[in-house]
Structure 1
Amino acid sequence: MTAVWRVIVTHRNYLIALLVPLLILPLPLLVPTQEARCGYVIILMALFWCMEVLPLGVTALFPVVLFPLMNIMDSTKVCMEYLKDTNMLFIGGLMVAIAVEHCNLHKRIALGVLLILGVRPALLFMGFMSVTAFLSMWISNTATTAMMIPIAQAVLEQLHKSEHETSPAGRVAESINKAFELQEAPSKSDSSQETQTQACATLLLFLPLHPDNGHVLTVEEEEKLKDVKQLEEEKHLTFCKGMSLSVCYAASIGGIATLTGTTPNLVMKGQIDDFRKNFGCGASASMKAKQKMAYRVIKDEHKKLGPMRFSEIAVTVLFLLLVVLWFTRDPGFMPGWATNVFNKNGKSYVTDATVVIFISLLMFLIPSEIPTYLCRNRAQQVQQQDSTRQTSVLPALLDWKTVNQKMPWNIVILLGGGFALAKGSEESGLSVWLGSKLTPLQNISSPAIALLLCLLVATFTECTSNVATTTLFLPILASMAQAICLNPLYIMLPCTLSASLAFMLPVATPPNAIAFSYGKLKVIDMAKAGSVLNILGVLTIMLAINTWGYPMFDLNHFPVWANSTSAASCK
């Protein structure tokens, strides 16, 4: 029985891949509609993503096969969803992050952040989350996460390296390394006695020494040091997971705060504008000592970097230029350069993806060093021209080989799969069907309606993009609120904010995908942390909309702009 169970566990992915499609197959067979077929695909992909039966990027390709076979969408439309504007923004943002890492600027930033914030975990989390949330209020969540995650990971790696050097296990490893460096191979002229003496000395050098008194470690002490080292690695991995989740979650939460911080907020604004148009007008002493030692090591490492090189300065300037262009493209509270210059018939043709791809192209053109002929006088230039020595071509700040090695192309496909699912829900009529099932909610209280809808949207947005969720749901929710004489903002506003609470799956939102691409997280890690955060987020939104939200948006009254023939009796 044990052997059979071991075989089942070993081949569980094959069994799941075979059984799951068969178990949910009755859905499209018993309900032969396009809505049921699209629901089948969504459920199948969600289960495969959660259980990691296949690589996430491979599962994201299901719509390319299943949507045409089920007559939901033709193959051309499905494939177009896999490289949209958001995907290009994702690629461009990661190119900038790769350039920062390629020129070693991330190490300088990481060490600088550690020197400013210190090495206490609480301060690191607070610092990175605050900066990420603030940036995401003004620029896209995807771009913010792509900028902050590499820096955060570099900080943690440097901190782990420093703590390892100051720990007992690290000092033992250093002693062993020095012992290896001191041993020399015997020469042919050595006598037999000298060779034996050196062999004994070499044997002693192989034995681990206690870091405090220098005596040879016993087996028990060596096992204890191994356990300490293992605990350090586990602690570092947990810390990396927590930091990755903190940064991507802070980006999603910070984007909720402003109108331009995240696209769902702009979708709600557009829906409201159309709606008005349509219907009217403390640590221990030992820990402190350890932190001081780590801080001292970090300070020494920072000094070793020396002055900034030209490549670091160039990438820093381009990075700052990217942030400024993102800030000023379309601030919302004032006209931006994109609306003033690249505007036609009231529509801006420039997006965040345009800006970041432009900066990325510059990194392939700008050399990583100042050409030597620019630093020489005229006589030296003439001498160089007359010489037969070939001048080597200076490398650029970024090259395609580096990008191809470090770019997580599977995540690009993963995002495309999410967009394809959203488009399939729209084309099949699944979203409209879901909206029609919400009409019986008029028989329950308003807070209960808002709570149920927020939970529904927060769940739905885990499998589709935030933009698609708000685009599909908001018109339906507005019509439902109008029909039951409820202020549409009371439903639309919390549901819009809930659409940004996509914390459970990597495909749920690009910041999650970026954090997941660094390899420290598993789907189950994100699902466990995200489920709790989803519930807390919905409860916080409900508290806000039912307290200060009422006087702020005048939710006690049915607005005049929401009146129509079907809502003429509303007061």
Structure 2
Amino acid sequence: MAKYSIGAIIWAYRSTIIMIATPLLLSPIPIYFNVAEPTYWREANCAYILAIMAVFWMTEVIPLAATALFPVVFMPIFSVSTSARVCSQYLKDTNMLFVGGLMVAVAIEKWNLHRRIALGVLMIVGTTPRWLMLGFMLPTWFLSMWISNTATAAMMVPIVQAVLMQLRETTAEDTEEKEHRSSGYDNPAMEYDNGQAVTTFTEPDESKENNGEITPSPSVGGSTNHIEGNKVSGSKATLVSDESDEPEDPAYSKLCKGMYLCIAYAASIGGIATLTGTPPNLVMKGQIDILFEKYNDNTNTKVTFGSWMVFALPISVICLVIAWLWLQLLFLCRIGGCKRQSRDKSYEMGTGDTPQKADEKDQQKRVKSVIRKEWQKMGRLTLAELILLIMFVILAALWLSRAPGQVDGWGSLFKAKYVSDATPAILVALLLFMLPAKGLWCFSGKKDQKKPGPSPALLDWKTVEKNFPWGVVILLGGGFALADSAQQSGLSNLVGKAFEGFGDINPAAMAFVIAAVIAGATEVTSNTATATLLIPIIGDLAIAIGVHPLYLILPTTLATSFAFMLPVATPPNAIVFAYGALRVVDMVLAGIGMNIICLGVVALALNTWGTAWFQLDVLPAFMQNATIISTTTILPNTTVAPLLNCTCP
């Protein structure tokens, strides 16, 4: 029988140990305050539950969505909040916005509209590596604004793989020809025999059998739609080795790394541009609403789908362009620098040498052939795709025009606060269950006429049940329930008072440091769980030091999406890493630069157009008063320390 060390046994049972040890080690918190300091017993009980959830979320000893259900059980048991109040937080307005948006995304994936958009962009851009990279990044970036980042990456990576296979096949043939020329072999039969050693450089079965067609991606945690926060659930990623016995061309290896990383980066960057692009954005929206309700501030928080896009879309565009340039610098340029006229076999086309130009033209034809084949396989635009595209445009227009921010939108036609961004989301989702996917029977041609009957709808409930990430909805609700319980118990006010000593720190420096710390934390923890835990605390910190809450919450939210360094950081990172072309050190070196650059862009945006757009230099109404009027429905008997250097009576 094999002997195992104590450390190996502990590691094998680490999840069980954490589940048992965490509540026991944290138990002195409620025991002490319930016995020795009964004044703060509710705050202590809430802090105890919050701490357990934080450990479980960070270690993922149980699924993230399961941990999010803790408030339903333990908040009533510990007398922190009633069961009815806790349960009502799990389907708030923000959750329904997420539900409606994801139903539209499920329909897009069902009819492969996202694939048609991606291939359409690739048909337009050039076939040189730098433009191919941009061609891969643009559709990934755009689609990740509206559908799951995971699904977008899983759809794009096989296309990248097929293109890279054609590039490698061309390079292998070029290498073979050069070797024969240098060896003096001109006999075609001899070239064929020697060529066998070169063809092993490619994947022999796939390159011939697939004939340039795109193969499915390796399985990463099962279905790409089953995600929790920013982690892939299910089994671990299956690493697919892309290596062979022959030494691989270093230039081609660098090209592969750059192409795969561009997909992961574009998916993460695109998600920040819209409220529904990534769960932390919705966490921010919900927590901001809770924060303003806490102080009975009925003013518009100005965080709507349209106002967020005005702020975040320029950030996303700038980060995308910088990512494109950064990846070119790392993986597509020569070691001595990116010289326009010194392009070698790093696959930049055009050195002026006639034989190489011919090779490059052949290479471009192969790449175009791969993309054209996939485009032709899509066939003509179907009625379902056309209707779905129209509904998608209508939904985006309704979101953007409901409450643009500086002017009144169509939402002003209704009573204040009666219509939100969830309204058009659910409306369009409902229409997808009604609109036909095929033409009416009475209008079909004789050849197409079948048995009379209604056309199937664009979306059916079985498809929604199968592909909808319900765990994320529960995770969002758990965060809202936790924040509401913290306010009900008074824990959030206690935390705010503890932060009053930070008032002397420069707000801009504080915002940057907080964003940097969170960007590092999300490399190893769920971005949704991180946002759920920290955004309420950051909001209380901002109020305590007299800063507009959005000034600290906005960079906190964006930083949760800047997880570029590790394969476990996000599902897109895990997907591209699973293809075997990347090493962890490659991702770390490229990701550090991306983190620094993106944090700098956020700092610039926050202190320029962000401040102007959200009026961050003007405090909310409830912070302009020296004393916050207590309410019996939100927070009874609550006062806040002096703000803005005012003196409280």
How does the TM-score come out when normalised to structure 2?
0.59
The match for 2:28 is 26
Match for 1:109 among 113, 117, 121?
A: 117
Contact 1:550 1:556 in 2 (8 A): no
Query: What are the within-5 Å matches in structure 2 for residues 65-144 of structure 1?
Result: 65-118=73-126, 120=130, 123-124=134-135, 127=138, 144=145
Q: Determine which of 373, 387, 390 is the counterpart of 1:300.
A: 373
Q: Residues 546, 368 of structure 1: CA spacing in aligned structure 2 closer, same or farther, 3 A cutoff?
A: closer
- The one of 190, 205, 217 aligned to 1:173: 205
Q: Tell me the distance in 1 between the aligned counterparts of 2:249 and 2:597.
A: 37
Q: CA deviation at 1:310?
A: 0.8
Secondary structure of 2:90 counterpart = coil
One-letter identity of the residue aligned with 1:160: Q
Shift, 1:406, TM fit: 0.8
Q: Pairwise mapping of residues 269-284 of structure 1 onto structure 2 (< 5 A)?
A: 283=332, 284=344
2:182 aligned residue? none
Cα pair distance change 1:564/1:231, threshold 3 Å: closer
1:287 aligns with 347
Amino acid at match of 1:28: P
Residue 354 (structure 1) aligned to one of 411, 423, 431? 423
Matching residue of 2:390: 317
Question: For 2:537 and 2:109, how far apart are their aligned partners in 1?
Answer: 39
The alignment of Structure 1 onto Structure 2 pairs a total of residues equal to 475
Deviation at 1:413, TM superposition (A): 1.2
Going from structure 1 to structure 2, the CA distance change for 1:544 and 1:82 (only over 3 Å counts) comes to closer
Please report how far the alpha carbon of residue 548 of structure 1 lies from its aligned counterpart in structure 2 after TM superposition: 10
1:158 to 1:273, Cα distance in 2 relative to 1, 3 A: same
Which residue number in structure 2 is paired with residue 404 of structure 1? 465
Asked whether the 8 Å contact 1:16–1:53 carries over to 2, the reply is yes
Q: How does 1:88-487 map to 2 (within 5 A)?
A: 88-118=96-126, 120=130, 123-124=134-135, 127=138, 144-146=145-147, 150-151=151-152, 153-168=154-169, 172-174=204-206, 177=209, 223-224=245-246, 240-251=263-274, 283=332, 284-288=344-348, 289=360, 293-340=366-413, 343-344=414-415, 347-375=416-444, 390-391=451-452, 393-442=454-503, 444=504, 446-447=505-506, 451-452=509-510, 477-478=542-543, 480-481=545-546
Distance 1:428 1:540 in 2: 38
Structure 1 position 429, deviation (Å): 1.0
User: What is the deviation of 1:306?
Assistant: 3.1
Per-residue CA deviations over 1:390-440 (Å, capped at 9, x if unaligned) read 435432111111111111111211111111111121112111001112333
Deviation at 1:305?
A: 2.5
Kept after mapping to 2: 8 A contact 1:114/1:155: no
Compared CA separation, residues 28 and 269, structure 1 to 2 (3 A) = closer
* Structure 1, 237-246 or 61-70: larger mean CA deviation: 237-246
Report deviation, 1:503.
0.4
Cα deviation code 1:54-73 (max 9, x no counterpart): 11111111112221221111
Gaps of 5+ in 2: 35-40, 170-200, 212-242, 279-283, 301-327, 333-343, 349-359, 564-568, 578-583, 628-641
Q: Partner of 2:404: helix, strand, or coil? A: coil
Answer yes or no: is the 8 Å Cα contact 1:275–1:562 preserved in 2: no
Q: Deviations over 1:201-255 (max 9, x none)?
A: xxxxxxxxxxxxxxxxxxxx96449999999999887555434322224557999
1:501 has 2:561 as partner: no
Post-superposition offset of 1:363: 1.2
Q: How far is the alpha carbon of 1:319 from its aligned partner?
A: 0.8
Query: SS at 1:331's partner residue?
Result: coil
Give, in angstroms, the shift of residue 299 of structure 1. 2.5
Shift of the 36–241 alpha-carbon distance from structure 1 to 2, 3 Å rule, reads: farther
> In structure 2, do the counterparts of structure 1 residues 439 and 265 end up closer, same or farther at CA, with 3 Å as the change threshold?
closer
| Bigger helix fraction | 1
Given the superposition, is the C-alpha separation of residues 537 and 235 from structure 1 closer, same or farther in structure 2, using an over 3 Å criterion?
A: closer
Cα separation, 2, equivalents of 1:276 and 1:84: 19
**Contact 1:310/1:368, CA 8 A, preserved across alignment:** yes
Pair 4,17 (structure 1): closer, same or farther in 2 beyond 3 Å: same
Deviates more, 1:459-468 or 1:306-315: 459-468
The equivalences for 1:519-530 within 5 A come to 520=575
Rounded to whole Å, the distance in 1 between the matches of 2:455 and 2:85 is 43
Shift of 1:173: 1.0
Structure 1: gaps (5+ residues): 133-142, 180-220, 256-260, 482-487, 507-513
- Structure-2 residue corresponding to 1:196: none
On the 8 A contact 1:162/1:294 being kept in 2, the answer is yes
Matched letter for residue 489 of structure 2: S
Counterpart secondary structure, 2:495: helix
SS at match of 1:8: helix
1:175-207 CA-to-partner distances (Å, cap 9, x unmatched) read 77499xxxxxxxxxxxxxxxxxxxxxxxxxxxx
Could you tell me how far 1:369 is from its partner in structure 2?
Answer: 0.8
| Partners of 2:160 and 2:260 within 8 A in 1 | no
The structural deviation recorded for 1:53 is 0.9
Corresponding letter in the other structure for 1:123 = L
Assess if the C-alpha contact under 8 Å between 2:89 and 2:481 holds in 1.
yes
CA-atom RMSD, angstroms?
A: 5.2
Change (3 A) 1:268 1:125: farther
CA distance in structure 2 between the aligned counterparts of 1:463 and 1:455, rounded to whole angstroms: 19
Report the alpha carbon displacement of residue 338 of structure 1 after superposing the two structures with TM.
2.2
Q: Which amino acid counterpart does residue 495 of structure 1 have in structure 2? A: L
Distance in 2, Cα, partners of 1:268 & 1:125 = 40
* Alpha carbons 1:88, 1:357 under 8 Å: kept: yes
Distance 1:234 1:400, change over 3 A: farther
Q: Are residues 414 and 476 of structure 1, via their aligned partners in 2, closer, same or farther at CA, if it must alter by over 3 Å?
A: closer
Partner of 1:198: none
Q: Report the Cα offset of residue 530 of structure 1.
A: 10
- Please tell me the residue identity of whatever aligns with 2:81: M
The CA deviation at 1:493 is 5.4
What is the CA–CA distance in structure 2 between the aligned matches of 1:177 and 1:129, rounded to whole Å?
28
Deviations along 1:87-129, whole A, 9 cap, x unmatched? 2221211111111121121221110122334564752576368
Closer/same/farther in 2, CA of residues 224 and 11 from structure 1, 3 Å limit: farther
Distance in 1, matches of 2:26 and 2:256, equals 41
Shift in Å at residue 9 of structure 1? 2.5
- Aligned partners of 1:237 and 1:520 also within 8 Å: no
TM-score, length-normalised on structure 1? 0.66
8 Å CA contact 1:549, 1:555 repeated in 2: no
Which secondary structure state, in structure 1, belongs to the residue aligned with residue 438 of structure 2?
coil
Q: Hey, what does 1:188 align to over in structure 2?
A: none
1: CA distance between counterparts of 2:538 and 2:244?
61
- 2:486 is matched by which residue type in structure 1? S
